[in-house]
C-alpha cells in the first residue's frame, strides 16, 4: 500500500486560506503515505503530468487529491490515473475548497481542517478496491416525443444522419404551436411556409416513422435500451386509407371546440385540424361525435369515398426498444381568464396572443380579416398589454416568457399593415428584444409603423355599452391614462404543455417548479435531462423563440448521435452490488430503489436480489434498507465509510 497525496493551490482559491505546503508536508505522517506534494493547479496539463510522473516514479498504488469538489474534476483525475496504468477507481478526492477554503477565514483553523479532510481521504483510499466498468449494447433507434418544430428538427437531423427515428405526436397532426402562427418574427416569414416543407420532409423520410394521435404510455429500461409502450389512439378513421378530401367534415352535424383556432369558434366532430396537416387525414373526437353519443348518424362513413371510417377501431399499442429519447413536448398558452381585472375571460373583445394570431391568419376563423368578436365590426383602436401571466407571482409564473415582447411588436405591425388607419397602442413593462435583428424589429414598429408604446401596467379593462375602456398608468409621463379600445390583445405568456407531469413521471426525470424539464446543468448541459439517454429540445425545457428552439433541437440530435455512435456504452462501475451469501431475499432494497434497478434471481429455490448494473445510478438508497448488510455501493462500502469516520475521530 503506497499512497500519494497531492495538495492543490488552485491558484489563490485554496492557497490564500489554507497553508497547502504545510498540509502536504504533514500528510507524510499519515498511514501508508509514501509521497506528498503541493501543486499550483492539479487540473492543468503540467499538474496532471506531475501526478502521472509521481505514480510511476514512486510506484504509488492509491492517490489522494486534495482540491476542489469532485463534481468538477473527479473524472479528469480518474482518467489521468488510468493513463499512468493505475485503476481509475483507486483515486480519492478531498474537497478542501468548497468545503474548506471557500467557507472559512481563519488560516490556522482552515489548514487544520484541510489536514483532517486529507486524513479522512487517506483512510478511505487505503480501503479502495479496483473497479471495472461494464458495457452494454446501444439500440440504434431513437424516440422523439412531440411533433412541433423542435421534434421535427431533431427528427430530420437524426434521420439525415442515417438514424431511424420514431416521432410520436399526441394530436392528429405534427406542426405544434408554430403551425398556428400567422407570421414569425423577426423576418415576418409566413410560419406555415417555412414549417410545412419540414413537415412534408418528415412524412416522406424513409428513416422517420411518424405516429400521430399517439402518446407514450410507459418507459422502462436504461440508456441504450429503453423499452417503450406507445399508444396510438383510436381515431375511428383508417389513416392508411384516408385521402384527406374533407367531405366528411363538411356534412358532420356535430361540433366541438376548435383547438387549432385557440378556442375561437368551432370545428366538426370529424375533422382535419388544418389545411396543411401532416398526415392529411381526418380524426373523430369520440366525445363530440353524434354516433358515439346517440347511436345515430354515421354520415361521414356513408360519404367517405374510400371507406376509411371505422367506428369499431380500438387503441393500438406498440412496444419498441429505443437507444435514446428526445423530449420535445412544447408549450401551451397561459389561461388569461385568471385575470379578473382583464375580464376574466368573459369579454369577447379581449383576446389572448394566440387567439389574435389566428384572427390575423388567412387560414383562421375570420379569413385573416381583423374583426371584433362581439360585433363583427372592424376595430379602430387596438390595445396590446404585455406580461399577462408572466413575471407575475400571483399565478406562480414569476418568470419571463421571452417571446411576448416580440410577438406583440409583430402583431402590432401586422395590425397596421391590415388596418393602416387604426390606432395601435402597446402598454409595456420592459421591451425584451435580445435576439438577432430583434431590437431593430421593435424599433420599426415604433418608428415606421407608428405603434404607440406606453410604459405602464393596465390596471383594469372596463366593458361598457359594447366598448372597452383601458385604464393604465403612464409611468414616463407620470399620469393616469384611460383610452378607448375596440379590441384588446393580451401578451399571454407560456407554460409547459399539459403532458409535462405524465412525461416526467414516465421518464423519471425532474422538472423545475413550473413544470419545465430540468436540464443536466443550467449552463454546461442544456439539452440533457437528469437521466442518461434522455434529451430535451424546445420550450418544454424553458421559454424560447423559434431560432433557439431549432438550435437546441439540433444540439439534442447531435448529443444523441454521440451516444449512438459508440459500439458499446460504458457504464459507471460505482453501482450497488449484492453479496449473495448474505442476501435473505427480503427485497426491501427493491422497494426503495427509484430506478427499478433491482431484479430478482432464482437459485436453488432461493431468491436473491440482483442489481442491474446499467440501470443503477449509484444513489445508495438500497444500502441502509438492507437488513443484513448484503448490499453495498461500490466506492462507498461500509468498510470505506467507517475508515473515514475512524480517521476523523481518532486523534
Partner 1 sequence: MSSALQVGFYPGCSLLGASEEYNISTKALEEPLGIKFVDVEDFNCCGASAGHSINPRISAGLNARNLYMASRKNNSVAVPCPACYNNLKTTSNNIKNDPQLAKQFDEDHDTMLNREMNVYSLLEFFYEKVGLQKIAEKVVKPLANYKVASYYGCLLVRPGKLTQFDDPERPASMDRIAEVCGAQVVDFQHKTECCGASFALSNKKMALSLSAKIVDGAIKTGANCIVVACPMCHQNLDLRQGQLAKYRKTTGNMPVIYFTQLIGLALGIDKLGLNKHSVKVAVS
Rule CB under 8 A: which residues touch partner 1? 339-341, 344, 460, 462-465
Shortest CB 491 distance to partner 1, Å:
18
Count helices and strands (H / E) in the chain.
17, 34
- Number of CB atoms found within 10 A of residue 272's CB: 24
Distance CA 62, CA 31 (A): 12
Shortest CB 340 distance to partner 1, Å:
3
Annotate 356-422 with DSSP letters as a single string.
HHHHHSTTSTTTT----TTT-PPPSEEEEEEEESSSBGGGTB-S--SSHHHHHHHHHHHHHHH-TT-
Q: How many CA atoms lie within 13 A of 335 on its CB side?
A: 8
> Which residues make Cβ contacts (< 8 Å) with residue 343, sequence separation at least 6?
350, 461, 463
Nearer to partner 1, 395 or 636 (CB): 395
Nearer to partner 1, 226 or 339 (CB): 339
- Number of CB atoms found within 10 A of residue 132's CB: 9
Distance CA 276, CA 419 (A): 27
Nearer to partner 1, 462 or 473 (CB): 462
The sign of the dihedral angle between the CA atoms of 558, 564, 570, 572 is positive
Give the angle 29-34-39 at the CA atoms, nearest 5°. 90
Shortest CB 171 distance to partner 1, Å:
33
Shortest CB 237 distance to partner 1, Å:
42
Shortest CB 462 distance to partner 1, Å:
4
Nearer to partner 1, 466 or 629 (CB): 466
Nearer to partner 1, 108 or 340 (CB): 340
Shortest CB 467 distance to partner 1, Å:
11
Query: Cβ-count burial of 30 within 10 angstroms (0-12 exposed, 13-18 middle, 19+ buried)?
Result: buried
Shortest CB 423 distance to partner 1, Å:
22
What are the residues facing 471 on neighbouring strands?
Answer: 460, 482
Shortest CB 348 distance to partner 1, Å:
13
Shortest CB 88 distance to partner 1, Å:
54
Nearest to residue 116, comparing CAs of 22, 3, 16, 1? 22
Q: Which helix (H) or strand (E) holds 163?
A: none
Q: Is 413 left (phi over 0), alpha (psi -120 to 50) or beta?
A: alpha
Nearer to partner 1, 302 or 457 (CB): 457
Nearer to partner 1, 345 or 547 (CB): 345
Shortest CB 468 distance to partner 1, Å:
10
Nearer to partner 1, 462 or 595 (CB): 462
Nearer to partner 1, 238 or 463 (CB): 463
Distance CA 60, CA 125 (A): 12
- Number of CB atoms found within 10 A of residue 633's CB: 21
Distance CA 354, CA 337 (A): 14
B/e letters for 506-539, b = 16+ CB within 10 Å, e = fewer, are bbbbebeeebbbbbbeeeeebbbbbbbbbbbbbb
Ordered strands of the 141-145 beta sheet: 208-211, 164-168, 141-145, 324-327, 534-536
Distance CA 217, CA 318 (A): 10
Nearer to partner 1, 287 or 465 (CB): 465
Shortest CB 493 distance to partner 1, Å:
18
Tell me the three cell numbers of residue 206: 424513409
Nearer to partner 1, 463 or 580 (CB): 463
Shortest CB 225 distance to partner 1, Å:
50
Nearer to partner 1, 57 or 393 (CB): 393
Shortest CB 401 distance to partner 1, Å:
21
Tell me the three cell numbers of residue 53: 510522473
Which residue is listed with cell 402518446?
Answer: 215
CB 519 within 8 A of CB 527: yes
Nearer to partner 1, 345 or 620 (CB): 345
Shortest CB 389 distance to partner 1, Å:
14
Nearer to partner 1, 197 or 340 (CB): 340
DSSP state of 182: S
CB 531 within 8 A of CB 509: yes
CB 253 within 8 A of CB 290: yes
To the nearest 5 percent, what fractions of the chain are helix, strand and coil? 30, 25, 40
Nearer to partner 1, 339 or 516 (CB): 339
* Residue 412: φ, ψ to 5°: -65, -45
Nearer to partner 1, 360 or 488 (CB): 488
Distance CA 270, CA 242 (A): 12
Shortest CB 399 distance to partner 1, Å:
21
The SS3 assignment for 98 reads helix
Shortest CB 458 distance to partner 1, Å:
12
Annotate 298-362 with DSSP letters as a single string.
-HHHHH-TT--B-TT---EEEEEEESEEEE---EEE--GGG-GGGTTT--TTEEEHHHHHHHHST
Amino acid at each position: 500500500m503506497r499512497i500519494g497525496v497531492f495538495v492543490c493551490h488552485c491558484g489563490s482559491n485554496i492557497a490564500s486560506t489554507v497553508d497547502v505546503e504545510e498540509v502536504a508536508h504533514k500528510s507524510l505522517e499519515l498511514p501508508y503515505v509514501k509521497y506528498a506534494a503541493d501543486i499550483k493547479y492539479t487540473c492543468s496539463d503540467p499538474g496532471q503530468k506531475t501526478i502521472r510522473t509521481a505514480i510511476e516514479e514512486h510506484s504509488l498504488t492509491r492517490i489522494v487529491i486534495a482540491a476542489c469538489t469532485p463534481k468538477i474534476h473527479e473524472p479528469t483525475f480518474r482518467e489521468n490515473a488510468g493513463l499512468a496504468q493505475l485503476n481509475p477507481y483507486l483515486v480519492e478526492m478531498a474537497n478542501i475548497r468548497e468545503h474548506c477554503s471557500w467557507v472559512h477565514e481563519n488560516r490556522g483553523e482552515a489548514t487544520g481542517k484541510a489536514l483532517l479532510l486529507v486524513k479522512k481521504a487517506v483512510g478511505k483510499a487505503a480501503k479502495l478496491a479496483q473497479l471495472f466498468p461494464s458495457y452494454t449494447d446501444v439500440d440504434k433507434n431513437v424516440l422523439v416525443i412531440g411533433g412541433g418544430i423542435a421534434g421535427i428538427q431533431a427528427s430530420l437531423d437524426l434521420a439525415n444522419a442515417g438514424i431511424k427515428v420514431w416521432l410520436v405526436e399526441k394530436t392528429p397532426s405534427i406542426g405544434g404551436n408554430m403551425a398556428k402562427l400567422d407570421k414569425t418574427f423577426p423576418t415576418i416569414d409566413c410560419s406555415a411556409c417555412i414549417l410545412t416543407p419540414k413537415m412534408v420532409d418528415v412524412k416522406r423520410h424513409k428513416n422517420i416513422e411518424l405516429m400521430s394521435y399517439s402518446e407514450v404510455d410507459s418507459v422502462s429500461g436504461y440508456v441504450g435500451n429503453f423499452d417503450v409502450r406507445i399508444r396510438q389512439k383510436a381515431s375511428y378513421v383508417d389513416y392508411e386509407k384516408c385521402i384527406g378530401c374533407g367531405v366528411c367534415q363538411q356534412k358532420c352535424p356535430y361540433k366541438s371546440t376548435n383547438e387549432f383556432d385557440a378556442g375561437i369558434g368551432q370545428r366538426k366532430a370529424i375533422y382535419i385540424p388544418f389545411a396543411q396537416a401532416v398526415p392529411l387525414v381526418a380524426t373523430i373526437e369520440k366525445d363530440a361525435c353524434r354516433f358515439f353519443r346517440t347511436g345515430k348518424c354515421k354520415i361521414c362513413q356513408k360519404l367517405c369515398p374510400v371507406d376509411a371510417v371505422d367506428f369499431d377501431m380500438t387503441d393500438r399499442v406498440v412496444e419498441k426498444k429505443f437507444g435514446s429519447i428526445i423530449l420535445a413536448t412544447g408549450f401551451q398558452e397561459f389561461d388569461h381568464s385568471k385575470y379578473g381585472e382583464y375580464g376574466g375571460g368573459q369579454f369577447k373583445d379581449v383576446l389572448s396572443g394566440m387567439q389574435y394570431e389566428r384572427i390575423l391568419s388567412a387560414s383562421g376563423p375570420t379569413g385573416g380579416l381583423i374583426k371584433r368578436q362581439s360585433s363583427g365590426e372592424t376595430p379602430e383602436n387596438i390595445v396590446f398589454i404585455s406580461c399577462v401571466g408572466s413575471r407575475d407571482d400571483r399565478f406562480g409564473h414569476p418568470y419571463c416568457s421571452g417571446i411576448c415582447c416580440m410577438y406583440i411588436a409583430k402583431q402590432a405591425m401586422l395590425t397596421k399593415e391590415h388596418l393602416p388607419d387604426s390606432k395601435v397602442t402597446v402598454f409595456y413593462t420592459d421591451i425584451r428584444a435580445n435576439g438577432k435583428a430583434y431590437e431593430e424589429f421593435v424599433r420599426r414598429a415604433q418608428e415606421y409603423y407608428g405603434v404607440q408604446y406606453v410604459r405602464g401596467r393596465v390596471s383594469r379593462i372596463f366593458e361598457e355599452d359594447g366598448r372597452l375602456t383601458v385604464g393604465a398608468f403612464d409611468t414616463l409621463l407620470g399620469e393616469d391614462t384611460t383610452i378607448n379600445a375596440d379590441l384588446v390583445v393580451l401578451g399571454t405568456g407560456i407554460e409547459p404543455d399539459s403532458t409535462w407531469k405524465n412525461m416526467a413521471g414516465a421518464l423519471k426525470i425532474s422538472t423545475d417548479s413550473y413544470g419545465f424539464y430540468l436540464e443536466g446543468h443550467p449552463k454546461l448541459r442544456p439539452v440533457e435531462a437528469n437521466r442518461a439517454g434522455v434529451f430535451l429540445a424546445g420550450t418544454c425545457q424553458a421559454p424560447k423563440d423559434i431560432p433557439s428552439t431549432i438550435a437546441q433541437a439540433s444540439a439534442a440530435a447531435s448529443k444523441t448521435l454521440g451516444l449512438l455512435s459508440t459500439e458499446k456504452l460504458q457504464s459507471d462501475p460505482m453501482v450497488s452490488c449484492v453479496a449473495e451469501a448474505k442476501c435473505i431475499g427480503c427485497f426491501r432494497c427493491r422497494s426503495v430503489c427509484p430506478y427499478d434497478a433491482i431484479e430478482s434471481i432464482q437459485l436453488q429455490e432461493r431468491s436473491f436480489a440482483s442489481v442491474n448494473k446499467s440501470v443503477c445510478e449509484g444513489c445508495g438508497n438500497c444500502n441502509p434498507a438492507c437488513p443484513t448488510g448484503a448490499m453495498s455501493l461500490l466506492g462507498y462500502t461500509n468498510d470505506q465509510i467507517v475508515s473515514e469516520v475512524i480517521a476523523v475521530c481518532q486523534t
